[in-house]
Structure 1
Amino acid sequence: MRLQDKVAVITGAASGIGLEIARTFAREGAKIVIADLNQAGADAAAASLDPTGKRALGVAMDVTDEAQVDAGMARAAAAFGRIDILVSNAGIQTVAPVEQFEFAKWKQLLSIHLDGAFLTTRAALHTMYKQGSGSIIYMGSVHSKEASALKAPYVTAKHGLIGLAKVVAKEGAAHGVRANVICPGFVRTPLVEKQIPEQAKELGISEEDVVKKVMLKETVDGEFTTVEDVAQAALFFASFESNALTGQSLVVSHGWFMQ
């Protein structure tokens, strides 16, 4: 198994992409910490991976709350003795044109994506540096590379994650810590499902046209990226055996963005 007895903390992992990454890592032998805003959801997800509780743990974590992050990461390290992998996956989406965007919603989105990534990274590094190894994986987006209308804070945040990963890769190298970014295209999660009617309303088009002419227009095959696709990319980063692959971003988007 590619992650035998590695300890992985995955934020926003009670559902969607995070939960699929957790399942994939568990199948490869990892011990999993499900960190989520919803304690009940985190516990249920952890129990679905391992009902005995010996190899999976649910932790309540608001990634924008410094004390909660530090406590949750400390609990993970205490439970399993180390932290080998952090997947910074928690996120939200809000769509509106820039001139109408509420400042409070702008700050909320940036806080979850950027403050959350920083706080969980800092806490994970305290453990990873002591043990001399680790892999940090940020959940970026094709919007880490290019822009779409109506998504100013999301595009800003996702671009920012690439910058953070590069700095962590530079600083972490001396401690055996890698940092990389996964950049998925549209994945049909509740986050994306919510956007379809919102964008249809803002753009004055049908929901079908949002899917075909906005979301999947630039793909090579008109297909959504799947949670399984993203989980395999996460496994690739997490299981890479040297520091050769660090500070990089991998686009998983059915050709929507090519580099």
Structure 2
Amino acid sequence: MARFDGKVAIVTGAASGIGKEIALRFAAEGAIAVIADLNLAAAQATVEEIKAAHGGDAFAVAMNVTDEAAVEQGVADVVAKYGKVDILVSNAGIQIVHPFVDFPYADWKKLLSIHLDGAFLTTRACLKHMYAANYGRVIYTGSVHSKEASKLKAPYVAAKHGLIGLAKVLAKEGAEHNVTANVVCPGFVLTPLVEKQIPEQAQALGISEEDVVKTVMLKETVDGQFTTTDDVADAVLFFAAATTNAFTGQSLVVSHGWFMQ
């Protein structure tokens, strides 16, 4: 029997990057992966990929995580189809870089809304079903920037720190309902989100793209290596498989030693 046989796992931002790898891994271990993404066509393509690879069930949901009604409807659709939600991986996110001194307020609000409002709204929508079932596993995709800071990333660092606080509150409130909450904190993973940042940071810092990778992104790692989507999925599935409250309110850094606790 696979670890997640019959479990319904909603993963936001799951049509690409880290979220997609997490969804694929859940499906490979027996879960019903719900691909929640702004891009419904890409989400449906991921569903077809899962069905072709594993022969299991998967479901695509169009979801703007900053839209309360869209989140509530998306989760309701999942529950109408499967009767429950066992696991939520709140992963949807973006990156915008500017110096603090001239960071546009609209960009600040946009980034915080996707990372923090999105985590709050998706969690709240799932909780009523998790509480009713007396079971739930909530995992937030944080970052090394949940622990550290970097130049040019004021809202991102603030949001990723905020997810740790959110998880701690949920860990305390959810315990009596057998709901755990944890944060996985990756280092730099070579996804489209990060690939986009390399030229942006090179321009902002006045250095080459190679130097951005070597002296900014991977400088503090022990081996100069990017974290992989597989590394992150390993940590997410570890928390999702926990059988007790022993692992709750925690944050696990997956970063080739960039940040050590």
- TM-score (normalised: structure 2): 0.98
**1:47-58 alignment runs, 5 A limit:** 47-50=48-51, 55-58=57-60
Q: 1:83 — aligned with what?
A: 85
Note if contact 1:47-1:53 (Cα within 8 Å) is conserved in structure 2. no
Q: 1:69 — aligned with what?
A: 71
Q: 2:240 — aligned with what?
A: 238
Pairwise CA RMSD? 1.1
Note if contact 2:23-2:33 (Cα within 8 Å) is conserved in structure 1. yes
Q: 1:214 — aligned with what?
A: 216
Q: Distance in 1 between matches of 2:32 and 2:66?
A: 24
Note if contact 1:11-1:87 (Cα within 8 Å) is conserved in structure 2. yes
Does residue 251 (structure 1) correspond to residue 253 (structure 2)? The answer is: yes
Note if contact 1:137-1:179 (Cα within 8 Å) is conserved in structure 2. yes
Note if contact 2:27-2:56 (Cα within 8 Å) is conserved in structure 1. no
Note if contact 2:35-2:59 (Cα within 8 Å) is conserved in structure 1. yes
Shift of 1:69: 0.1
Does residue 43 (structure 1) correspond to residue 51 (structure 2)? The answer is: no
Shift of 1:55: 1.1
Q: Distance in 1 between matches of 2:73 and 2:51?
A: 23
Shift of 1:47: 1.3
Instruction: Tell me which of 117, 135, 138 is aligned to 1:136.
Output: 138
Instruction: Tell me which of 198, 201, 205 is aligned to 1:199.
Output: 201
Q: 1:151 — aligned with what?
A: 153
**DSSP-derived class of the 1:158 partner:** helix
Note if contact 2:232-2:254 (Cα within 8 Å) is conserved in structure 1. yes
Q: 1:30 — aligned with what?
A: 31
Q: Which moved more, 1:9-18 or 1:50-59?
A: 50-59
Shift of 1:53: 8.9
Say how many residue pairs are matched.
Answer: 259
Shift of 1:79: 1.2
Letter in 1 for 2:105: F
**DSSP-derived class of the 2:225 partner:** coil
Q: 1:126 — aligned with what?
A: 128
**DSSP-derived class of the 1:34 partner:** strand
Unaligned runs of 5+ in 1: none
Note if contact 1:135-1:179 (Cα within 8 Å) is conserved in structure 2. yes
**DSSP-derived class of the 1:163 partner:** helix
Letter in 2 for 1:222: G
Q: 2:228 — aligned with what?
A: 226
Letter in 1 for 2:117: D
The C-alpha deviation readout for 1:192-228, integer Å capped at 9, x for no partner, is: 0000000000100000000000000000000000000
- TM-score (normalised: structure 1): 0.98
Q: 1:5 — aligned with what?
A: 6
Note if contact 1:19-1:45 (Cα within 8 Å) is conserved in structure 2. yes
Instruction: Tell me which of 148, 171, 174 is aligned to 1:172.
Output: 174
Letter in 1 for 2:31: A
Note if contact 1:46-1:53 (Cα within 8 Å) is conserved in structure 2. no
Q: 2:188 — aligned with what?
A: 186
Unaligned runs of 5+ in 2: none
Q: Distance in 2 between matches of 1:204 and 1:105?
A: 22
Residue identity (%)? 69
Question: Are residues 54 and 225 of structure 1, via their aligned partners in 2, closer, same or farther at CA, if it must alter by over 3 Å?
Answer: closer
Q: 1:15 — aligned with what?
A: 16
Moved over 6 A (4+): none
Shift of 1:38: 0.6
